[in-house]
Amino acid sequence: MKSIFLLLVLIIISGSVYAEECSDEDFNAADATIPLHAWNDVASFFNKFKQCDEGYLAEGVSTAVSVLLARHWEDFPQLLQVEKNNPDFEKWMLKHINTTANGEDIELIIKNSSMRCPQGETPICNKIGQSAKQVIKEFDTEGAENKTL
Q: Residue 17: its pLDDT value, please? A: 40
Whether 118 and 76 have beta carbons less than 8 Å apart is answered as: yes
Q: Are 46 and 86 in contact (CB under 8 A)?
A: yes
**Residue 22: inside a domain:** no
Quote the pLDDT of residue 18: 40
Count of alpha carbons within 13 angstroms of residue 134, beta-carbon side: 12
pTM for this predicted structure: 0.82
- Assigned domain for 86 exists: yes
DSSP letter string over 14-78?
A: HHHHHS----HHHHHHHHHHPSP-SHHHHHHHHHHHGGG-SHHHHHHHHHHHHHHHHH-GGGHHH
pLDDT at 141: 84
The mean pLDDT value of the chain amounts to 88
User: Is 132 part of any domain?
Assistant: yes
Structure confidence at residue 75 (pLDDT): 98
So what's the pLDDT on residue 3?
52
pLDDT in tens, 100-110: 999 999 999 99
All residues at 6 or more sequence positions from 114 whose CB lies less than 8 Å from its CB, including other chains:
125, 129
pLDDT band at 19 (very low <50, low <70, confident <90, very high): low
Residue 3 lies in a domain: no
Total number of domains constituting the chain = 1
Structural domain range at position 124: 36-147
Q: For residue 129, how many other CB atoms are within 10 A of its CB? A: 20
Ordered alpha helix ranges (H), 96-121: 103-115
Q: Is residue 73 part of a domain?
A: yes
Residue 98 pLDDT exceeds 60: yes
**Is 29 inside any structural domain?**
no
Residue 7: predicted pLDDT: 42
